Amino acid sequence: MKLVKALGSVGGLTLASRVLALVRDSLAARYVGAGFASDAFNGVAFRLPNMFRALFAEGAFSAAFIPLFNRKAAGPDGMSGAYLFAERALAVLLPVLILFTIALIAAAWPITWLLSGGFSRQNPTPEQFAFAVTLSRITLPYLALISLASLLGGILNSLDKFWVNAAAPILLNVAMIAGLWFFHGPDEYATARVQAISVTVGGALQLLWLIWACRRAGVSMRLRRPRLDGDVRELLRLIVPAAAGAGAQQINLLISTALSGWLLAAGSITYIYYADRLNQLPLGLIGIGLGTILLPTISRLLSTGQDQQAMETQNRGIELALFLTLPATVAFITVAEPIVRGLFQYGRFTAEDAQRCGWALSAFSIGLPSYVLVKVLTPGYYARGDTKTPVRYAMLSILINIAGNLVLIPLAGHVGPPLATALSSTVNVAMLYSTLVKRGHFAADAQLRRRLPRLALAAIVMGAALFAGEDLLDPWLGGTMMMRYGALVLLVGAGIALYGLACFLTGAYRVSDLKALIRRKGSTSNS
């Protein structure tokens, strides 16, 4: 499967999911606002499932499971051996998840305190803190549901059915939008409770969708008695370091959230959360999509001795990642506040909230290229069975993030945690890249070296034009919801057009490249 075509399939569905997530967050801002209730949900009750999904479903389990599954499929027993390995993994995973979830629900009070820093600056009443603990208990079953879904999604990704797994998060967002739209309560606390319930409902829908998709693909998983054989031990050995390596950004966000709850005033966690959600839009579309595709692709190429093709694939992955990420980075830096205002400034979310959230978004976006490149570079390690090197670098980046938070929060307030996260992720990428180069596992080819500076220049040209024309959209961004969305569509459309034009003017892409792409598509459709 061609990289661009696969990314189009995965990225399109991921984009649909992230757009629905923006609708969900717009409704949450309208009905819950930025206060203790929103901080309790966004900073704790929803943060833990989100982190676990990124660590496990999008990170550790996929990184450990997919190469082993592909190795089994390429072995003497073929796909039957691979499915047997998956069943043995499920037999161990299921009871562990059940016990783990029960333990977390029982320990919800200390977990909530740790994740929030006790909301020290907000000085909550005992009833308010108990409310935050209740929200956590409601959402914790999502962890087990999404982990089981990740096993099935890993099998489907290995069968090149990327789109099925990419479509699953849409169901979570649909469940949460339905909850906010139809069942929002009379105040922000009742609505936050509805949000928590809809998270677990969405997790159940995702698991059911993947069970159905596996059966349609001829994959039927049988429950077996748990047994720690050699293959399962190898899987477990790889999962733990992969969790820290693949989830460094989520761990950094978790630490930032806890320090924010401890050191910052009410609403700060919500500003950081909404800024991160916007930052996650290009990350989800590009980084997670590319990471999902590159790991099984590079694993297959290396297992068949096609090392040069694996390096070529990773070169194009980096090129594609930065082609799509650089304009988003510049846009989030130059026009962050209008974007936040158009999406969230409504109902309980005030103009001051929008301004503060915009500052956080600009800070986060500085690290956007590095967030994406982590997803592109780590498959180069995981496909070779090396999960230890990424975890060492991830641990170092976490230490940098903690130090950055402690230094920057007193200086920059709620903008400090996003800046620290961006800095730590940039250091992580630098270490991942330099080690791949030193080992001879990656070398930037002539095409990549020629295009990257031109792409950066094109993004800067686009950003300058958007910044100059920002005032033209101001009247629309303060109007009705449809006017706001219309203004944002116009802003995004203008940005895409300007960036595309700038890419040709700077020579990042030539007319011959476009003609070659059209010819390739034509020959594919005729074959």
Alpha-carbon gap, residue 11 to 298, rounded angstroms: 19
pLDDT at 294 > cutoff 80: no
Phi/psi at 125 (5° precision): -75, 165
Give 186 or 34, the one with higher predicted confidence: 186
Alpha-carbon gap, residue 340 to 327, rounded angstroms: 17
pLDDT tens digits, residue range 125-177?
888 899 999 999 999 999 889 888 888 887 887 777 777 877 888 999 999 99
State the pLDDT confidence band at 3, using cuts at 50, 70 and 90.
Answer: low
pLDDT at 328 > cutoff 50: yes
Give 71 or 113, the one with higher predicted confidence: 113
So what's the pLDDT on residue 71?
Answer: 78
* Dihedral angle of Cα 184, 172, 287, 12, to the nearest 10 degrees: -100
Residue with tokens 């305190």: 113
Chain centroid to CA 211 = 23
Q: Would you kindly state where each structural domain of the chain is located, as residue ranges?
A: 3-444, 453-527
Give 290 or 3, the one with higher predicted confidence: 290
pLDDT at 215 > cutoff 70: yes
So what's the pLDDT on residue 203?
Answer: 93
Q: Which amino acid is at 486?
A: G
Neighbours of 189 (CB within 10 A): 18
So what's the pLDDT on residue 250?
Answer: 65
* Contact call for residues 164 and 149 (beta carbons, < 8 A): no
So what's the pLDDT on residue 292?
Answer: 60
Residue 222's Cβ-count burial label (10 Å; 0-12, 13-18, 19+) is exposed
State the pLDDT confidence band at 380, using cuts at 50, 70 and 90.
Answer: confident
Percent of the chain at pLDDT above 90? 24
pLDDT at 324 > cutoff 90: no
Phi/psi at 267 (5° precision): 95, -20
Q: Highest-confidence range of 146-155, 197-206, 340-349, by mean pLDDT?
A: 197-206
pLDDT at 46 > cutoff 60: yes
CA dist 511 → 251, 311, 455, 500, 508 (Å)? 43, 26, 15, 12, 10
Kindly tell me the sign of the dihedral angle through the C-alpha atoms of 355, 360, 361, 366: positive
pLDDT at 98 > cutoff 80: yes
Chain centroid to CA 90 = 25
pLDDT tens digits, residue range 58-96?
556 766 777 788 778 777 777 888 888 888 888 888 898
State the pLDDT confidence band at 521, using cuts at 50, 70 and 90.
Answer: very low
Q: Which DSSP letter does residue 119 get?
A: G
The two tokens of residue 86 are: 């998956």
Q: What is the mean pLDDT of the chain?
A: 82
So what's the pLDDT on residue 276?
Answer: 85
pLDDT at 266 > cutoff 80: no
So what's the pLDDT on residue 481?
Answer: 72
* Contact call for residues 130 and 42 (beta carbons, < 8 A): no
pLDDT at 444 > cutoff 60: yes
pLDDT tens digits, residue range 445-474?
888 898 899 999 999 999 999 888 877 887
Alpha-carbon gap, residue 522 to 527, rounded angstroms: 9
So what's the pLDDT on residue 287?
Answer: 61
Alpha-carbon gap, residue 477 to 186, rounded angstroms: 27
Q: What is the 3-state secondary structure (H, E, C) of 128-195?
A: HHHHHHHHHHHHCHHHHHHHHHHHHHHHHHHCCCHHHHHHHHHHHHHHHHHHHHHHCCCCHHHHHHHH
So what's the pLDDT on residue 70?
Answer: 76
